């Protein structure tokens, strides 16, 4: 008997691909991997990582995109067929020590959707292992569910450090990820300040009930506003660096109290100059933080604990993906979405 998947063999689909150092909408084969599920993308989100890849800064060639919501067309797990899903983006080898310890995110042979060795979600169809997929609750719309992956990345911080209501916390960077992190950390009831450079984005966080501080000038370094924050004792117990700028780490060091912890969320292209003696003398913990678990993110969206709607900049059709990427690259743009 022919399955929906068989019908899709040899049929081309539209995909937004980065190839030969060029971003273009291309005809591409429907992705088929043994033992995996085939998902029809309904909505996808453009993230800074996609922008970096399309600028040629990352070593990835193929279909972009890792933030998506879609409908399962075919799966070895038949209970998934026809269901609306989101998907964990890392797929491990399944054999190594880390995979056996249920940590495929750090598997040395992992692939990652639209980032590493695996075509991504800016296409009509994508492929992922069935165990990577999570059913989206009915109460969570596509425009919310598409935020599951970045929201999970924000929530990862709370898995790594224990933030209590008595703590003073600063988030450096008012962009897409900084906004999500701010909303997640606000849920702890701590004394929270978002530090950024863009009036409109700081205003967005202020409307969500968060204190904000504006950095003046071109770079994230020492500024009038920062000095004002620094002189207030005590300094911050935790600083989350999500600015996407190499100056963010130096600012984090300005803000953190002795024996505090800096959580690094930005991935930079190239090296960051750092005065490590400040880390040593003040006994600062520096914690790298990447992807997070999807279930808590979906639960948070379902409960309405985080309102992601104000973070949407605009929706584009997949067919207009090149234009959408251009919009996403414009400084100050929030989340640009693609629909299929
Ligand atoms: Zn992302
Ligand atoms: Zn592995």
Ligand 1 centroid distance, CA of 39 (Å): 19
Q: What are the 10-residue block averages of pLDDT along the chain, 340 residues in total? A: 55 94 95 95 95 89 97 97 97 94 93 96 98 97 97 96 96 94 96 92 91 72 50 78 87 93 85 86 95 94 94 97 96 93
Ligand 1 centroid distance, CA of 219 (Å): 24
**pLDDT for 250:** 87
**pLDDT for 112:** 96
Ligand 1 centroid distance, CA of 291 (Å): 9
Ligand 2 centroid distance, CA of 97 (Å): 7
What percent of the chain is helix, strand and coil (3-state, nearest 5)?
A: 30, 30, 40
Ligand 2 centroid distance, CA of 322 (Å): 34
Q: Give the β-pairing of 37-46 and 335-339.
A: antiparallel
Alpha-carbon gap, residue 251 to 243, rounded angstroms:
10
Ligand 1 centroid distance, CA of 1 (Å): 38
Ligand 2 centroid distance, CA of 93 (Å): 4
Alpha-helical (H) ranges within 147-286 are 148-160, 176-186, 199-207, 224-231, 247-255, 276-281
- Integer CA distances (angstroms), 40 to 132, 196, 312, in order: 15, 37, 22
The pLDDT tens digits of the residues spanning 67-81 come to 999 999 999 999 999
- Tell me if the pTM is above 0.75: yes
What ligand is nearest to the CA atom of residue 292?
1
Ligand 1 centroid distance, CA of 114 (Å): 10
List 326's β-bridge partners, or say none. Answer: none
Ligand 2 centroid distance, CA of 99 (Å): 4
What ligand is nearest to the CA atom of residue 102?
2
Ligand 2 centroid distance, CA of 145 (Å): 28
The pLDDT tens digits of the residues spanning 278-290 come to 999 999 999 999 9
Output the six-digit token pair for 180. Answer: 């999500």
What ligand is nearest to the CA atom of residue 93?
2
Ligand 1 centroid distance, CA of 335 (Å): 10
Alpha-helical (H) ranges within 38-141 are 48-54, 97-100
**pLDDT for 64:** 98
Alpha-helical (H) ranges within 232-330 are 247-255, 276-281, 294-303, 321-329
């Amino acid at each position: 008997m022919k399955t929906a998947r068989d019908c899709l063999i040899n049929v081309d689909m539209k995909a937004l691909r980065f190839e030969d150092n060029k971003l273009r909408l291309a005809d591409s084969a429907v992705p088929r991997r043994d033992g995996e599920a085939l998902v029809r993308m309904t909505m996808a989100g453009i993230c800074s990582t996609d922008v970096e890849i399309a600028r040629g800064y990352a070593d990835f060639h193929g279909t972009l995109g890792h933030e998506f919501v879609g409908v399962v067309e075919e799966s070895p797990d038949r209970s998934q067929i026809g269901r609306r899903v989101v998907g964990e983006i890392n797929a491990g080898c399944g054999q190594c020590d880390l995979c056996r310890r249920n940590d495929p995110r750090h598997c040395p042979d992992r692939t990652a959707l639209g980032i590493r060795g695996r075509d991504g979600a800016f296409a009509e169809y994508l492929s992922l292992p069935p165990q990577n997929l999570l059913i989206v609750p009915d109460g969570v719309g596509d425009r919310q569910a598409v935020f599951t992956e970045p929201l999970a990345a924000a929530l990862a911080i709370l898995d790594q450090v224990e933030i209590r209501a008595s703590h003073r916390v600063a988030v450096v960077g008012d962009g897409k990820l900084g906004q999500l992190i701010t909303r997640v950390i606000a849920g702890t009831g701590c004394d929270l300040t978002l530090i950024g450079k863009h009036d409109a984005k700081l205003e967005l966080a202020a409307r969500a009930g968060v204190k904000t501080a504006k950095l003046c000038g071109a770079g994230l370094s020492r500024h009038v506003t920062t000095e004002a924050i620094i002189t207030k004792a005590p300094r911050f117990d935790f600083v989350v660096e999500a600015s996407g700028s190499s100056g963010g780490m130096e600012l984090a060091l300005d803000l953190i109290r002795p024996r505090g912890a800096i959580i690094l969320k930005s991935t930079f292209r190239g090296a960051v100059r750092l005065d490590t003696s400040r880390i040593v003398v003040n006994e600062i913990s520096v914690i790298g933080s990447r992807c997070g678990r999807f279930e808590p993110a979906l639960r948070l969206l379902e409960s309405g604990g985080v309102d992601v709607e104000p973070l949407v900049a605009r929706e584009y059709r997949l067919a207009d993906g090149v234009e959408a990427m251009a919009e996403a690259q414009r400084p100050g743009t929030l989340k640009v979405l693609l629909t299929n």
